[in-house]
Amino acid sequence: MNVITRAGLQAWLQDLADSRRLLAPQVVEDVVLFRPVDDIRTSAALDPNAPRPAMSIKEAFFPPTERLMLIEPQADPDTPGRRRVRLTETLPEAEQVIFGVRPCDARGMAVLDAAFLEAAPPDPYYARRREGTTLIGLACKEMGPSCFCRSVGGGPDDSRHVDVFLSETEEGYVVQVITERGRALLDGVPLSESDAERPSSALSDPIAVPDPLAWPAYFEDPFWGQMSERCLSCRICAYVCPTCRCFDVRDEPVESQAGSDRFERLRCWDSCSSAGYRRIAGGHNPRSSEGQRLRNRFFCKFYYYPLQYGPSACTGCGRCIDACPVNVDITEVLGHLVTG
């Protein structure tokens, strides 16, 4: 196995931070978030005890808000006095490296890829960022109390879906090159050969997860209504989720320019848990009750998505469990479907 020392990793990451955009876990007030890093020593990237970042790496590919195009009126050269509308596509520039990617978040990228890239038409904004990004994964030494990645096809030492995968050992980090892009990123970085085996992560027992085909029978279950009574209909679960990918699109004036006639087409995060999400013209709302909305979130993860794209859309990261203010618990939902 190839090993990089702690000092070697720090030097490598500092090189990356100096030469391009590097995102890594940072403590912002008391929240751990992926943020651009200038000085690797001030980040939480190399702190082995740093908790799971509050947000997944999703926002580096599918940001909370992005401009899709600029909309500007222009004089029509052919007809004096008339104006034309000029639409300018605004594709992102994104050469970036993300360090400290957890296996659950990396698998989240595979879930997003299926929806944004592999299903036609591919999303050019997402594609640009995805093509320009290199992922350095980091094994979790143990699973947290709310983690259940093993139950949904992942694991704390699952090295798929990243470009380079690191596992911490006593000597430093065992380095696995997963893709050619990862090999290129490591070009010239001093690694040493070692007999060290890749360390294994401490595993928690998996929970039972129902088969996708078991879900339709529970569509009318009163459980959803009961579960949703305490639901606040906020959007925390969707926004912290590595795979929730719903958005709203609206044309709005370009901000901070009073009297401006320039507009932008914005794409912003949205969530099926909010009351207005499913409202349609005329005011009808097919998912007007909290129970219908909560049901949709779980059906989407474990039935609609698998039906359309393949494996379940939940990566077992446990963020929604920990962030929910009223303890709506995705594993409790799965348990209900298993035990009936």
> Which residues lie near other proteins (CB under 8 A)?
28-31, 33, 51, 54-55, 64-65, 145-146, 226, 229-230, 232-236, 239-240, 248, 250, 252, 255-256, 266, 268-269, 271, 274, 276, 321-323, 325-327, 329, 331-332, 335
Q: How far is the CB of 147 from other proteins (least distance, A)?
A: 12
Based on CB atoms, which residue is closest to other proteins, 179 or 233? 233
Q: How far is the CB of 104 from other proteins (least distance, A)?
A: 17
Based on CB atoms, which residue is closest to other proteins, 12 or 269? 269
Q: How far apart are CA 152 and CA 137, in angstroms?
A: 19
Q: How far is the CB of 101 from other proteins (least distance, A)?
A: 20
Based on CB atoms, which residue is closest to other proteins, 49 or 74? 49
Q: How far is the CB of 286 from other proteins (least distance, A)?
A: 17
Pair of tokens at residue 191: 């690694």
Residue 251 carries which side chain, given as an amino acid letter?
A: D
- Residue 274: exposed, middle, or buried by beta-carbon count in 10 A (0-12, 13-18, 19+)? middle
Based on CB atoms, which residue is closest to other proteins, 1 or 94? 94
SS3 (DSSP) at 106: helix
DSSP assignment string, 175-206: EEE-SHHHHHHTTT---EE--PPPPPPB-PPP
What letter does residue 269 receive in the DSSP assignment? E
What letter does residue 214 receive in the DSSP assignment? G
SS3 (DSSP) at 213: helix
Q: How far is the CB of 176 from other proteins (least distance, A)?
A: 30
Q: How far is the CB of 164 from other proteins (least distance, A)?
A: 29
Based on CB atoms, which residue is closest to other proteins, 173 or 263? 263
Q: How far is the CB of 252 from other proteins (least distance, A)?
A: 4
Q: How far is the CB of 30 from other proteins (least distance, A)?
A: 6
Based on CB atoms, which residue is closest to other proteins, 157 or 264? 264
Is 175:186 a contact under the CB 8 Å cutoff? yes
**Nearest Cα residue to 320 out of 235, 222, 216:** 235
CA distances from 25 to 41, 53, 137 (A): 12, 7, 12
Buried b or exposed e, range 102-138, using 16+ CB within 10 angstroms: bbbbbbbbbbbbbbbbeeeeebebbbebbebbbbbbb
Based on CB atoms, which residue is closest to other proteins, 92 or 212? 92
Number of helices (H), then strands (E), belonging to the chain: the values are: 10, 12
Is 165:158 a contact under the CB 8 Å cutoff? no
Based on CB atoms, which residue is closest to other proteins, 211 or 229? 229
